[in-house]
Every structure is written in structure tokens, then in C-alpha cells.
Amino acid sequence: TPPQMGAKSWKEVLAVRWRISTSEAHRRLTEAALLAPRQAMTGEALAPVLPATAAAQAHGLINAEHVEVIRKTMAKVPGFVDTATRERIEVDLVRNAVGNGPKELKDSADRTLFLLDQDGPEPDERERARKRAVTKHKQREDGMVDVSAT
């Protein structure tokens, strides 16, 4: 555990042991959580969260920047998208990443997300209520108070 190694977290352990920045250590831990094989509570082996991305990285076809773009894109896929479509999106992103740089991959990923949900999310009354607010600002020297509302 990190305390046994004299650190507060795994991020700190990696940063000290490998002499890397804490942001690089965080990136590596995040990447490992998505791309490494997992284990279920009952003990059976599970595939990585992003199996196609893990395979491409293991074969050296994509780099850390590609993985970051794919990870962020998959996190933005709307909740109504079924599992088979999610897997297909990931495979398409990996195929695109193999032949292109991170910038081109990001452009392609943004287009895919746009095509999935062109209208944007359906308005949710709870979310709208959460964002409603009235703010009274600090009194000005002339005694007036600005008020803004959403």
C-alpha cells in the first residue's frame, strides 16, 4: 500500500519511484485503470474497460495522446447509446487513431459525438432547476446593487 511505501497515494509512489511529475503519474494510473485487465469481485477475469484501445496500445499502434482522446470521447458518449454501439465507436476511433495523429483523431471523435446526438441532450427539468439562481452583487459606491439571474 502507499503508506507502507512512505507515500499518501499511488500517484505519489509513482512520481517518487520513477522520478516523473504527479500529472504524468496520474495519467499513467488513469490509463492503467482503463486498459489493464480487471478482476471481478467473485474472482473471474474481466476485459479492460476499453479493450480495442488496450490492444492497439499493447501492439504499439497508438500512443498516450491517442489514448487520452479516446478516453475523453468515450466518457462523453451519451447514456442512451447501447453497449454494442459503444464498442463500435471505440473500434472506429482506434482504427482512425492508427493512421492519424491525435489532432485528426480529436476532430473525428468530435464529429462522431455530434452525429450521435445532433440536438444535444433532452432538456431535464431537474438540471434546469439546479442551474436556476439569483445573485445579489456587492453594493456599489453610489448605493446601487447589481442583481443577476439565470
Output the pLDDT for position 145. 94
Output the pLDDT for position 122. 75
Q: Which residue reads 489514448 in cell numbers?
A: 67
CA–CA separation, 34 and 27 (whole Å):
11
Query: Which phi and psi angles does 46 have, rounded to 5°?
Result: -120, 150
Percentage helix, strand, coil for the chain under 3-state DSSP, each rounded to 5:
55, 10, 35
Length of the chain: 150
Give this prediction's pTM: 0.69
- Residue 80 is given by DSSP the state T
Output the pLDDT for position 142. 94
Output the pLDDT for position 18. 85
Output the pLDDT for position 131. 83
Output the pLDDT for position 104. 96
Cell of 35: 486498459
pLDDT-flagged residues of the chain (< 70):
none
Output the pLDDT for position 119. 79
User: For the chain, which residues make up each domain, given as ranges?
Assistant: 1-35, 51-117
Q: Which helix (H) or strand (E) holds 38?
A: strand 38-39
